[in-house]
Structure 1
Amino acid sequence: MNLQEIIEELCSYEFEKEWFEFKENFDNDDELGEYISALSNSAAYCGKKYAYFIWGINDKTHNIVGTNYNFDKNAKNGEPLKHYLERKLSNNVFIDFNEVYYQEKRLVILIISAAKTIPVDWDGQRFIRVGSSKTKISKFPEREVYLFKVLREGLPTIENTPSKYQDLTFNKLFGYYGSKGIILKENTFKKNLGLLTEEGKYNIQAQLLSDNSHIPLRVSIFDGETKASNLFSVREFGYNCLLYSLDELLRYGDVLNIIQADERNRIVERKEVSLFESKAFNEAIINAILHNKWIEGNEPMISVFSNRIEILSRGSLAPTQTMEGFFLGESVPVNAKLSDIFLQLHISEKSGRGVPKIIETYGKECIEFRKNSIVVKIPFNWINVVGNKVGNKVGNKNELTNNRTIILKEIRNNPNVTTVQLANILCISETAVENNLKYLKDNGYIKRNGSNKTGYWEVIK
């Protein structure tokens, strides 16, 4: 990237990251040396090739304000500043001052290489960034240990990190591949799919693809617009081979996506309008699963509110990914081998249509970059808005409530579905299911063919 692209990229973040710092007219030679140490070490910690210290940008607003900082000066001892800094820094870091005019304002950009082999120190002390704060790394021993590990072995991934579960089985994985017409070989699949560390132990990728991933995947439904609202229901899709969990999540999206009858301006036929764009939802779910930072043991989080769905993926962009490239669909996978598996199984594709499809439908504002996560917000297209609660929006007790709509969906998919199964799906009592079934029968939505024990349900309207 050129200097202008660097500025645009860094300013696009809502908050300062651990590998760059904005100042206006900061001028303290020794503290600058501490910043260089902290930024260089943090760049390595975050998997970045370079860190940046930029004068002329407000660190709170990210407004371009310009600077009069003079980097072509002597340090306090009369030595040229760059020489002074390089002499007191350890020799495993490269620094380069640059002057640029951006939006007709003068900026100074200090480019700092990421630490290599060992952490960078300033005058015998090692520093690191914690959030937007610079501090001695000795105050955070866990970060220091992790940094040494990264410098020695590279960033931890789901491929090089062993799973704490080693008694894994893969019957479902074989079944999934078989359903796609691909035959896995017992003696080679672990190597071909990257399921082992160099030491021969099952890695986290193996855990995710095993019969029991040991990781929950949940969809939480709230009856209002925030998590302070009542929790309406929770659906569980985890503790399964990740591929099957993903399929179940995508199918559940069809359950959530209520088809509304639009009678407005009706002439002959009424128009059917979905609650949200299913393709955008599917792409957001696949991306959340594929690019989640599984290495930290945290799963994606799907929350359904009365006016939107939020799909949260843990972590941030891949180290080599740029914000511009992200929005253009230039995919840089966080989990490279898992991405290859998704491509092989035609779950995702290399065209990079996922993010562009989402923003084409809902705009860039539907994607929020938080400190340790990325959230896609899919708004609901309610035709008739009544109040702010899910129950009100899909009807009152004498209409098609959310539960009744889901029951109709389940009966269409499985006419033999039982009261017990419906109670488990809806997370409500069997008595509540029976009351809803009675309403649907009494109002002509469904009928029962045959006896209660051997018969089946039929959807009439």
Structure 2
Amino acid sequence: MTPAEMTALLDRLLAGWENEVVEFKEAGDGYSTDKIGEYFSALSNEANLRGADSGWLVFGVKNSTRKVVGTAYRPEPERLQGLKMQIAENADPSATFSEILELAHPDGRVLLLKVPPAPRGIPIAWKGHYYARSGESLDSLHLSKLDEIRAQTLATDWTAAVVPSATIEHLDPTAIARARLGFTERNPRLAEEIQTWNDAVFLEKARLTVDGGITRAALILLGDRTSEHLLSPHPLELTWKLVGQESAYEHFHLPFLLTATSLKNRIRNVQIRLLPPNELIYREISKYDERSLLEAIYNCIAHQDYRRNSRVIVVEHVDRVEFISVGEFFDRTPEEYMLSDQVPRRYRNPFLVAAMTELNLIDHMGNGIHRMVQDQVRRFLPLPDYDLSDPGEVTLTISGAVIDEAYSRLLMVRTDLPLDDVLALDRVQKRLPITDEAVSRLRKAKLIEGRRPHLHVSATVAAMTERKADYIRTRAQDDAHFAQLIIDYLNQYGGASRKEIDALLGKYLPDVLDATQQRSKVTNLLSKMRRDGRIHNVGTQQNPRWELV
């Protein structure tokens, strides 16, 4: 701008005075960079919300008199322009002033710092905190404003955009072959037809192209390493990092469909031994569930905020693995997905999610988190943790070691515990708070002891194991025996109601189970036999009648 244009701009800003997108300060030479960063975050977010082309932070104007008084802030040009770098280093996502204009006003030196609006759907944070304006005051970005900005992503899906210069030649042939396999697994009835499709037809059917155009989703999943420049400036990396007594790291690039598995295989998944109560033989399990590791990596790929230009980071510790990706939980809370098969109402990257579902990589119904929780319960280990404390980032932790023996021993014995009780007990062993209702419920069941904040899993659980140890040792054999009894009955009589099956097995079920637990055991056994394709229900849900397949 010319001096005249800058003067006219200043006059317009002074005429409108301070509002949510303009801030005036006298600002001496030592004015706090942190305070400037907070105003940058606030003005950027407010400019986004108000559809303004920019916000303005003006130095050299006295607030009380609305008069130009001049500023001594960073008189050296190099120091002044260095402010841009300092702001960019601590703003998240990285952003800085569009311009820093210096005006030699008759009443003193004035600096006009131009603040760009936050990108659509992405609020700007300063050192992990989101700021906004409340009239003329600096304030935190309230939840309503935060939701308003985030909701803007619904209007556009970054992963659905067609990359004009991309062609099928930019895709990895091995990745396409693997994608065909996944698509066939999901659509077995089309197996023969799929073989007749050329690559262009397959990509369209798998929702990876739009009218023949290669999308960003297609490049993310299937792109050859040489195609990464087409998605610049995104780093397009999955990074594995080993920390502890040994340290190492490795970057994995496109195509993510293949390299996600390579990253998973990098994690050291040794066997660990657990000793069940009152047993002399150790039970061996893998440190991590392979399916859960891959589910976590695919979730990072599917749900990260690609506009933030950040890589997925997987940090392997001695006793746990952390999966870190940018982008807040987009719909509902982690606890809701952990406790039940919740179905997401919306996605940040719906196009990419749809494609990954078609390739049989993830569950479109949102059952992945619930399944990871069940896998950890089945293996008697701590449940997955979702840390949302860092704004704009999600850290998933999967444990590979026992934290509290009482908790793991309890899971070995009480296989009938409701999942919400397991979740509460898991928080107790991790010294995390639980609700008053959960405390009351667990105390009544004698599952916890102690006083807040020093609750712990009850030591009296060990007493319960005395009568149940024999049952645990023979449980697998009992299940096989019960299943054979049902098959023999169905062979002889052709079918059976639930009441008849309960009567058949009632006298054989162990007396360490109460009536509710016995009924639950029979339900689980019938469900397993149905999944195995041995029996099916020819009645209704309320009045089932079971027959052999």
The TM-score bracket by the shorter chain reads 0.3 to 0.5
**Structure showing greater Rg:** 2
Relative contact order higher in (CA < 8 Å, ≥ 6 apart): 1
More helix by share: 2
Q: TM-score, normalised by structure 1?
A: 0.44
